[in-house]
Amino acid sequence: MQFILRRCHARAGTMILVVIAAVHLRLAHAQSVTLRVGHFPNITHVQALVAHGFSRAGHGWFEPRLGTEVKLEWYVYNAGPSAMEALFADAVDLTYVGPSPAINAYARARGEEIRIVAGAAEGGAALVVQPDSSLHVAADFRGKRIATPQLGNTQDISARAWLTAGGLHITLSGGDAQVVPTDNPDQLALFKSRQIDAVWTVEPWVSRLEMEAQGKVLVDEKDSVTTVLVSSRKQLERHGELVRRFIAAHDELIEWIRAHPTEAQIMVRDELTAETPYASQS
């Protein structure tokens, strides 16, 4: 490089500035990092909703804590399996997700690709039945249709396990009762029109089923782990310190939410509206 610079200086002094500028641009590009983070438009992903809201407003929570060289991008998914596929495809680096898809992905990759790096939420999931339902125990669901957010997501597995434990034979597409993977907004519409008998889902959809369709909670998963933060192994190897900074900021955000519940609730409501505008018309 020194030889090239000397030769350029001999031919034209301005060439030195061009070469130096190009070198600085390459170095700046090499040092910049884009961190891609996934989450769902669910209250059980409250940390992501609040942080995404901060980012949308132009004064991010994670951004100043990650460093000026880091650009943060948010990606929204309906449920866990989609988010884990994005992680496998290297489309995101971190994602908030339910424990079941994370464990399934870990097993699928034989422990090579997925790492749970932090906890996020407990509770907020429930089985909701029709207001005049006579369904009380799993055995009552014989011949009934239950909607869940996505095949293989945490609530889908909870529903299948609960029905099986109650003595019913459940298959991927049928059995004694039919578990129907359905996007959350569509669950509400189907429930209102009584095309499904019950829904196993998370907040805010549990409350919307209660308030807008007079649904009744039959099973309340108050103490179940609902959300964890997952990283790809590649991201940990490439930018382990960056992931550690993100986790530290995630923990700080939990404390902020606890200290500012009213402000956090407003931010969650606004972010849910921004992420699922069509759902508010369901």
Rounded to an integer, what distance in angstroms lies between the CA atom of residue 82 and that of residue 88? 10
What's the chain's average pLDDT?
87
Cβ-count burial 135-170 (b if 16+ within 10 Å, e if not): beebebbeebbbbbbbbbbbbbbbbbebbeebebeb
- Top pLDDT among 141 and 80 is at 141
- Average pLDDT for 92-119: 93
Percent of the chain, pLDDT > 70? 87
- Average pLDDT for 5-9: 32
- Top pLDDT among 137 and 172 is at 137
Do the beta carbons of residue 36 and residue 242 sit within 8 Å? no
Give φ, ψ of 22 to 5 degrees. Answer: -65, -40
Percent of the chain, pLDDT > 90? 79
Residue 205 one-letter amino acid: W
Q: What is the pLDDT of residue 31?
A: 66
Q: Does domain 125-221 have CATH number 2.60.120.580?
A: no
Q: Please give the C-alpha separations between residue 110 and each of 103, 118, 151, 282, in angstroms, as whole numbers.
A: 10, 20, 21, 41
Burial of 183 (0-12, 13-18, 19+ CB in 10 A): middle
Q: What is the pLDDT of residue 74?
A: 97
Contacts of 140 (CB under 8 A, 6+ apart): 134
- Average pLDDT for 42-69: 95
- Average pLDDT for 40-68: 95
Give φ, ψ of 162 to 5 degrees. Answer: -65, -45
Q: Domain map of the chain by residue range?
A: 32-123+225-281, 125-221
- Average pLDDT for 57-62: 94
Do the beta carbons of residue 177 and residue 165 sit within 8 Å? no
Kindly write down the DSSP assignment for every residue of the chain, as one continuous string.
-HHHHHHHHHH-HHHHHHHHHHHHHHHHHHH-EEEEEEE-SSGGGHHHHHHHHHHHTT--SHHHHH-TTEEEEEEE-SSHHHHHHHHHTTS-SEEEE-HHHHHHHHHHTTTSSEEEEEEEEE--EEEEE-TT----SGGGGTT-EEEESSTTSHHHHHHHHHHHHTT--B-SS-BSSEEEE--HHHHHHHHHTTSSSEEEEETTHHHHHHHHH--EEEEEETTSEEEEEEEEHHHHHHHHHHHHHHHHHHHHHHHHHHH-HHHHHHHHHHHHHHH-TTGGG-
Instruction: Examine the pLDDT at 191 and tell me if it is beyond 80.
Output: yes
- Average pLDDT for 189-195: 96
Q: Name the token pair of 262.
A: 């009213």
Same fold, 32-123+225-281 and 125-221: yes
State the CATH class of domain 32-123+225-281: alpha beta
Q: What is the pLDDT of residue 277?
A: 67
